[in-house]
Structure 1
Amino acid sequence: MSNKIQGSLKIMSLPDVLQWIGLAQKTGSLIFEKDKEKKVLFFRKGAVIGANSNNPKDKVGEILIRMEKITREELDQGLIKQKETGDLIGDILLARGYLTTKDFITALESQATQIIYDLFTWKEGEFIFQERLPAARTIPISIKVDFILMEGMRRIDEWQRIKEAFPSLDIILALEEQIPEEEEDGDLKAMRNLVNGKNTILDICDQSPLNDFETCNDLYNLFHNGKITKKGVRSPHEITDDDDVKRLLSRGKAFYQKGRFADAIPFFERIMKIQPENKEADRFLTRAITAVQNELLKTLGVSQRRIRDRQGIPHGRRQGLERRGGFCPLPD
């Protein structure tokens, strides 16, 4: 096989691509694109040394918050500083003493594996391996491909189990009424406000601070243990009232005005599903997408001029999840 490969995941699977890079001890960037979604894996001598994605939940700052290593306020302060200096957010958080180097390494490893494991669910998409890397980050990581392959296949099995329990994103989940609040475990406490008898699985994934796999896995465990139940299925044509649109617009604009463009996007996307003709939401969504796109390109060290109009970020949480075949794109 040549030093540079490109192709389709329909023809060459992700495990095959990773095995080639690992066995050949390649150094470079492996770029995946599908629709407007983009993920990049970085390798040095066959090991993963980092990853990036235009999915807001894949950002290292969000992962640090989920790990409870920094607060939302600390991240916001770091992002403001980043806009002023152009420094990497991790370097800023470390310099301010908001977290330790050990915690940051853990977050970077989590970010890389989260992005890779999501790629295991892709049935289709284009990829290209280039023997070049962006500027080295301050804190390097190294993850062996063999470990990634084993864990990735395990997660595919997990997604299949979840899909069998929840075949539709429009299933509405509710708490079992007989469970006293004092008897709730950690997963149930974390999901109590989201599993309210009104939210669908899609709604819960939209609002959960966890990534999609973690959220759906928690929901599956709660359902399997009899702590939550299926209340029904929402019609995909059901329209939310204007009050919900106003609430979503208000929250999205609040994030946008704080410079938290990635956090704003899901709110504007949700409005566009409810009211496709909403010009205000469409305008803010376009601006937020552009801002996140520019941020990603800056992080990757790529010239905006060279790839203008060729990048984007995921448009629609439903599309992102449904590409998993209703959670998991496994062969029939």
Structure 2
Amino acid sequence: MPIQGDIQTFSLSAIGRMIHAEKKTGILNVSSDDSVTRIYFKQGGIVFISGDLAEELSLGALLKADKLVQEAEIRNALEIGAKSNKRLGVILIEQGYVTKEDLVKVLNLQFKEAISKALTWKEGTFIYTDGLDGYVEDIQLDMDPIRLVAEAERWKEYRILIPNDQVVFEMKDVALRPNSLSTEGVYDVMLLADGNRTVAQIIQSTGKTRIAVYRALTSLFVQGIIERKKTSQEIRKGQQITAESIMRFFLPLIKEILSDFSTEMGGKKAASILAGSIESSPHYDTFLQEVRPEDTTSTMVKNIRERIGRSSKPVKSTDLATGFKNTIVQILKEEQQLLGSKAVYGTLRRMITLIESMPAEQKIIAGSFIPLLTKLFASEKRSMETEDIFARTTSSGVVSGGTGSGIPIPNLSDISGAVIIAFYSRIAQILITDLEENLGVKSHTLLEKILKNSEYHEAFLCRFHAADDIATNVESIRGHISNEGHRLSKMSFIKGFQQVLIELLLEEKHLLGSKPTRTSLAKLNRFMSDPKQRDLMPLSKYFISTIETYRSLEWTMV
């Protein structure tokens, strides 16, 4: 019996998880307007995807972009296919134009593109039927749908900043030094972001995959090294932006964020949070007073226009944009504190979906909002990953003190607080030394930022400095705790340090990639396996348990 429904009620990712979990074999058809994507499953794995793709994402275009085939070879293969009814990929292999390994890599990319496109659909229907009628398994593929959806979600994040391959980036006037860049691959991409080359041309020049270039550009943008170059059309449109367009862009976004609070905590709490976010703004009296979540967007626009008309102070378009942006940031901060990073991350995704559905005259404003949104995405993803790691560690009995399937809480009776501080100080120094080799002084700035964001900063981490020797850190922290009258358990020290170290590993993975991070992990393992550390075995086992949790999540990280 077919399974069918709409994607608003049952998301594409949820459908994929169900089919994967039940190891089903069949075809999932997902439709939206005039677009159709067909996903072929065999024993729960994805073996093929077909549907409507843009010309630049066709198999031939992707193979040419990666310089794997020539135009003449594609034409010849298509002529053969018209006579034989064989698929293009099969013919290219048979003719010796491309290896099976290269073809599979490109097909994987194409499938991710197809899934990514389907994930952006806000409305549509699906129908799943058992069996693979009409499917010929001439090229064997077997992809994990959970991982594929996760990677496609990542594509969606990159497209916040890079909606298509024709975007142009340029270096900012003040940029980081080359030795502060993450990897050679990112440096190569940076050199080509010259204000002239499009993203498509950068992909072609570097020979890297599309996702690698998108990831590198997003990283460079978040670090403040490059910026998007405005086209002449964008500049002209920017000069034509009206106050009403700005209001109709930002007000629905504010309502979207507040709807999360209303759902989770009630309408009164949502109104209270909005009031707290706008009352301290310098724009409160001139227009922000009229932002009320219970009103429609049109009503708020009307009321704001009337208030501005009565105001003795002139209100520029930039004032409107700044006031609304700051309000959004403040509300998101409240959401992060009350509901956590995952809630904020979900809200940011819904904001993107809302922006995509806006009329063209409002989307013009998105160009100035995208930099902020991209940085918020990056920040919340880091926080969400850290929360996820500690949630998993806690559920296995490591942080909470339980005796679940993970390593139980170590016996700390023979280990002093000073020894714990010394142990984690040494681990932090190992990580910082690795980061210094690639990031220079920026590594210490990064650590300071992580320390300040920790819930244990005021308690003791404010006195920790990686540049100091271990004895100095121990004495400084002990003195601070004594002077401030803090009462901290040994587990508080452990949890505080481990949160900082996991954040460092996440940042290293984000900035430098997997290889340097694996090298750092190997160094940590050697340190903790040293016979000299035998007396610290309980702490070593405890930290290793968190490292293992980090590794189990590593493939999902950008």
Structure 1 length normalisation: TM-score?
Answer: 0.55
Q: State the Cα deviation string for residues 121-163 of structure 1 (Å, max 9, x = none).
A: 333322221224223131121112333344345x1xx644763
Q: 1:257 matched to which residue of 2?
A: none
Q: 1:309 matched to which residue of 2?
A: none
Q: 1:53 matched to which residue of 2?
A: 51
Is the 1:162–1:220 Cα contact (8 Å) retained in structure 2?
A: no
Shift of 1:120: 2.9
Shift of 1:4: 1.3
Cα distance in 1, alignment partners of residues 90 and 167 from structure 2: 42
Shift of 1:51: 0.5
Q: 1:136 matched to which residue of 2?
A: 136
* Higher percent of residues as helix: 2
2:90 aligned with 1:94, yes or no? no
Q: State the Cα deviation string for residues 138-191 of structure 1 (Å, max 9, x = none).
A: 1121112333344345x1xx644763x579999864355899xxx9x7668679
2:173 aligned with 1:174, yes or no? no
- 3-state secondary structure, aligned to 2:75: helix
Cα distance in 1, alignment partners of residues 167 and 14 from structure 2: 35
Is the 1:170–1:233 Cα contact (8 Å) retained in structure 2?
A: no
Change in Cα spacing, 1:171 to 1:145, as seen in structure 2 (3 Å) is closer
Aligned pairs (5 A) from 1:72-91: 72-91=71-90
Is the 2:113–2:152 Cα contact (8 Å) retained in structure 1?
A: no
* Higher percent of residues as strand: 1
Which structure's relative contact order is higher, taking Cα pairs within 8 Å and 6+ residues apart? 1
Change in Cα spacing, 1:20 to 1:231, as seen in structure 2 (3 Å) is closer
Cα distance in 2, alignment partners of residues 175 and 4 from structure 1: 53
Shift of 1:97: 1.0
Q: State the Cα deviation string for residues 83-124 of structure 1 (Å, max 9, x = none).
A: 343321112111111122232233333332332233333333
Cα distance in 2, alignment partners of residues 68 and 150 from structure 1: 27
Q: Which amino acid aligns with 1:45?
A: Q
Is the 1:52–1:58 Cα contact (8 Å) retained in structure 2?
A: no
Change in Cα spacing, 1:222 to 1:142, as seen in structure 2 (3 Å) is same
Is the 2:116–2:156 Cα contact (8 Å) retained in structure 1?
A: no
Q: State the Cα deviation string for residues 225-245 of structure 1 (Å, max 9, x = none).
A: 555334446546969xxxxxx
Structure showing greater Rg: 2
Q: State the Cα deviation string for residues 43-101 of structure 1 (Å, max 9, x = none).
A: 11211111112213343233333343323332222123223433211121111111222
- 3-state secondary structure, aligned to 1:19: helix
Cα distance in 1, alignment partners of residues 123 and 103 from structure 2: 32
Q: 2:27 matched to which residue of 1?
A: 29
Gap regions ≥5 residues in structure 1: 240-320
Q: Which amino acid aligns with 1:71?
A: Q
Q: State the Cα deviation string for residues 202-236 of structure 1 (Å, max 9, x = none).
A: x8579977998666444323434555334446546
Q: Which amino acid aligns with 2:26?
A: G
Q: Give the alignment's Cα RMSD to 1 decimal.
A: 4.6
Q: Which amino acid aligns with 1:87?
A: K
Q: Which amino acid aligns with 1:99?
A: V
- 3-state secondary structure, aligned to 2:98: coil
Change in Cα spacing, 1:205 to 1:96, as seen in structure 2 (3 Å) is closer
Cα distance in 2, alignment partners of residues 103 and 168 from structure 1: 24
Shift of 1:39: 1.4
Is the 1:205–1:215 Cα contact (8 Å) retained in structure 2?
A: no
Change in Cα spacing, 1:77 to 1:189, as seen in structure 2 (3 Å) is farther
Shift of 1:34: 1.8
Cα distance in 1, alignment partners of residues 35 and 213 from structure 2: 20
Q: 1:303 matched to which residue of 2?
A: none
Q: 1:119 matched to which residue of 2?
A: 118
Q: 1:70 matched to which residue of 2?
A: 69
The aligned length equals: 238
- Choose from 221, 224, 234 the match for 1:223: 221
Q: 1:317 matched to which residue of 2?
A: none
Aligned sequence identity (%): 21
Deviates further, 83-92 or 9-18 = 83-92
Q: State the Cα deviation string for residues 1-36 of structure 1 (Å, max 9, x = none).
A: xx4122221111112111221122222111122222
Q: 1:107 matched to which residue of 2?
A: 106
Is the 1:188–1:222 Cα contact (8 Å) retained in structure 2?
A: no
Is the 1:172–1:198 Cα contact (8 Å) retained in structure 2?
A: yes
Change in Cα spacing, 1:191 to 1:129, as seen in structure 2 (3 Å) is farther
- 3-state secondary structure, aligned to 2:27: strand
Aligned pairs (5 A) from 1:1-332: 3-55=1-53, 56-133=55-132, 134-153=134-153, 155=154, 159-160=156-157, 163=160, 173-175=169-171, 197=195, 216-232=214-230, 234-235=232-233, 322=356
Change in Cα spacing, 1:176 to 1:186, as seen in structure 2 (3 Å) is farther
Q: Which amino acid aligns with 2:135?
A: A
- 3-state secondary structure, aligned to 1:43: strand
Is the 1:162–1:217 Cα contact (8 Å) retained in structure 2?
A: no
